[in-house]
Amino acid sequence: MGNLTHDEIQALAEHCEKAELQAYEITKITDDYPQMTYEDAFDIQWEARRRKEARGTKIVGMKMGLTSWAKMAQMGVEQPCYGYLADYFSVPDGGDIRMDELIHPKIEAEIAFVTKAPLKGPGVHIGDVLRATDFIVPAVEVIDSRYKDFKFDLKSVIADNSSSTRFITGGCMASLDEVDLKTLGVVMEINGEVVATGAGAAVLGHPAASVAMLANMLGERGEEIPAGTFIMTGGITAAISVKRGDAISVRYQGLGTVSARFV
């Protein structure tokens, strides 16, 4: 059920997307629209996505967020959310990320899936996801909530495309029988210093559960995950703030290193 009008959805999508494109802070939407529902929040996210596609931007994948206890505790939110990834979010491994295009970025170590068969909820489970997975790759997500001081509630963050802004994909892929995603370890370093460590099971017990949840959440809107979709399953550890000049590198057990520099 939605409580906002069509015009309010349009205006709020423009409001959030402008803050993203021009890198400025806004206050959380529920302050001004306390009656906003989850359906309204997703309508705002999908409207911003539609606006981007209408300008020729390509959607290149999806992400789940707030899928680990570390992240849920850090943000004070107890439910996962999803967002889309646009073509210009993608940064090559070893590349530069421009601080002047962002507000207050943080980095997250994630496992990404690439599918080979469609997944459509409701009722999608881990078994379906494992069967539909082509391969996995390591990824680092850069999040940049448009909300002041990263302070939001779940509805507001959904409307803001779940804080999505940049991502870096590693070049080392694995099939699911080559890795144990529950015990797969990650070590995050900034300027050579270890800042966070974790293992895949932090993400809903198994990162494939995150893909299943995405399929089921999309199913509620009649949408599916098409074959060939790149999906980031959510930060394994808490997100770590970065500043200009930082060199980041995340090591994934058996899957190499993903690195970037904030300039």
| Shortest Cβ 146–ligand OOG spacing (Å) | 10
Please name the residues in contact with 260: beta carbons below 8 A apart, sequence gap of 6 or more.
91, 93, 94, 95, 96, 97, 140, 168, 247, 248
Shortest distance (Å) from residue 177 CB to ligand OOG: 26
Nearer to ligand OOG, 117 or 187 (CB): 187
Which of 235, 236, 250, 262 forms a contact with Mg ion (CB under 5 A)? 235
Identify which of residues 65 and 121 has a Cβ nearer to ligand OOG in the complex: 65
141 binds Mg ion, rule: CB under 5 A: yes
3-state secondary structure of 199: strand
Selection from 226, 240, 252 nearest residue 174 by Cα: 252
Return the DSSP state at 119.
B
Query: In the bound complex, what is the minimum distance in angstroms from residue 178's beta carbon to ligand OOG?
Result: 24
Express the helix, strand and coil content of the chain in percent, nearest 5 each.
35, 30, 35
- Give the DSSP H or E segment for 216: helix 207-219
Cβ atoms < 10 Å from Cβ of 51: 14
Given the structure tokens 């995150």, which residue do they identify? 210
For residues 73 to 112, the per-residue mask of contacts with Mg ion, x marking binding by CB under 5 A and - elsewhere, is -----------------------------------x----
What, of Mg ion, ligand OOG, none, does residue 75 touch, CB below 5 to 8 Å by kind? ligand OOG
Cβ distance 261 to 246 under 8 Å? yes
**Least Cβ distance, residue 233 to ligand OOG (angstroms):** 8
Pick between residue 72 and residue 187 the one whose CB is nearest to ligand OOG: 72
Residue number, 10 or 101, with CB nearest to ligand OOG = 101
Query: Rounded to the nearest whole angstrom, what is the least distance from the CB of residue 239 to ligand OOG in the complex?
Result: 6
Name the site residues for Mg ion (rule: CB under 5 A).
Answer: 65, 108, 141, 235
